[in-house]
């Protein structure tokens, strides 16, 4: 049992104060796993009754199950990445590859696309957040949106992200790319933004239910096959790129006549 899988369905139901408790828990999983409920409650400046009520609200029967699942989650995260069971022919893989892209585009919610496109008409500052191989996708996304006349901020390392997030305002637009959707840094980032400026939070994640997906104002999800080569992930994220392009095309489709010189060849 994974901690984030348990809490996912309940995150959207939390009050502002409970979100603060959740934020503390996510940031301090390693410390909490060995503490008593009284110690954790003291650290959060709440009563043990309040903290126990919170633990039950996020899906646990009690504090014992809460810490047990945290220990299991941390232990599981430290295990060596599993080898991908990718043993299909190139022909079969090409077919699955195209199916994943087609399905990712097919299931896009049109209303969500229209909402983001309309928000872009306000010319917000666009903030991009991504790690690992998604950073290359975000570089391309930055190129696209800058070409369309937007001011785009893409902090690529953690120290810059810590500085930049303090500059985000309520009328800005934030894009987060994360396939797994349970990265602790992104959860903390979204928690902070929801409790302060609360810009429009748009995420692109995997199709599985996840924390980032549930914390987003708008989520687009993609389908893909997870692949690893020599213990390095080479999972295709091309569907994320397709979604980003469609968001921009939606905006351009509703732009004022003469605003852009757009040529189709």
Give per-residue pLDDT as tens, 92-116.
Answer: 667 778 888 888 888 888 899 999 9
What's the pLDDT band for 78 if we cut at 50, 70, 90? low
Residues 24-37, mean pLDDT to the nearest whole number = 88
> Would you say 152 and 142 are in contact if contact means Cβ atoms under 8 Å apart?
yes
Residues 70-87, mean pLDDT to the nearest whole number = 62
- Residue 55 pLDDT more than 50? yes
Give me the numbers of helices (H) and strands (E) for the chain, helices first please.
13, 7
The C-alpha angle 135, 192, 163, rounded to 5 degrees, equals: 55
Domains and CATH numbers, the chain: 3-78 (1.10.10.10), 90-253 (3.40.50.10490)
> Would you say 227 and 84 are in contact if contact means Cβ atoms under 8 Å apart?
yes
Strands 232-233 and 228-229: antiparallel
Q: Say what the pLDDT of residue 97 is.
A: 80
CA distance 27 to 143: 33
Nearest to 223 by CA among 102, 84, 43: 102
Which one is predicted more confidently, 263 or 18? Answer: 18
- Residue 198 pLDDT more than 80? yes
Q: Say what the pLDDT of residue 84 is.
A: 41
Cα-atom radius of gyration of the chain, to the nearest Å?
Answer: 20
- Under DSSP, is residue 202 helix (H, G, I), strand (E, B) or coil? strand
Residues paired with residue 67 on neighbouring β-strands, in sequence order = none
> End-to-end CA distance of the chain, in Å?
52
Residue spans of alpha helices (H) in the chain:
3-7, 16-27, 29-32, 37-44, 48-57, 63-78, 90-106, 110-120, 134-147, 158-164, 184-195, 211-215, 238-253
Which one is predicted more confidently, 184 or 207? Answer: 184
Task: State the DSSP code for 13.
Answer: G
- Residue 220 pLDDT more than 90? yes
């Amino acid at each position: 049992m994974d901690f984030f899988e348990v809490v996912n369905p309940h995150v959207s139901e939390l009050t502002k104060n409970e979100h603060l408790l959740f934020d503390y828990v996510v940031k301090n999983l390693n410390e909490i796993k060995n503490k008593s409920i009284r110690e954790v409650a003291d650290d959060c400046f709440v009563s043990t009754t309040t903290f126990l009520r919170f633990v039950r609200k996020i899906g646990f029967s009690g504090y014992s199950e809460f810490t047990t699942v945290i220990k299991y989650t941390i232990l599981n995260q430290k295990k060596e990445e599993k080898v991908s069971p990718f043993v299909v022919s190139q022909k079969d893989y090409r077919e699955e590859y195209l199916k994943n892209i087609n399905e990712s585009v097919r299931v896009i919610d049109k209303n969500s696309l229209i909402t983001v496109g309309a928000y872009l008409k306000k010319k917000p500052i666009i903030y991009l957040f991504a790690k690992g191989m998604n950073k290359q996708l975000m570089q391309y996304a930055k190129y696209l949106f800058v070409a369309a006349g937007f001011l785009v901020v893409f902090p690529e390392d953690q120290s810059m992200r810590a500085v930049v997030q303090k500059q985000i305002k309520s009328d800005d637009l934030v894009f987060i790319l994360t396939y797994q959707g349970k990265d602790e840094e992104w959860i903390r980032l979204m928690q902070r933004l929801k409790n302060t400026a609360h810009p429009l939070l748009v995420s692109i994640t995997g199709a599985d239910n996840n924390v980032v997906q549930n914390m987003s104002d708008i989520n687009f999800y993609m389908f893909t096959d997870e692949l690893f080569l020599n213990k390095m992930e080479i999972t295709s994220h091309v569907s994320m790129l397709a979604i980003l392009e469609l968001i921009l095309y939606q905006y351009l489709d509703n732009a004022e006549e003469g605003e852009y010189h757009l040529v189709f060849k």
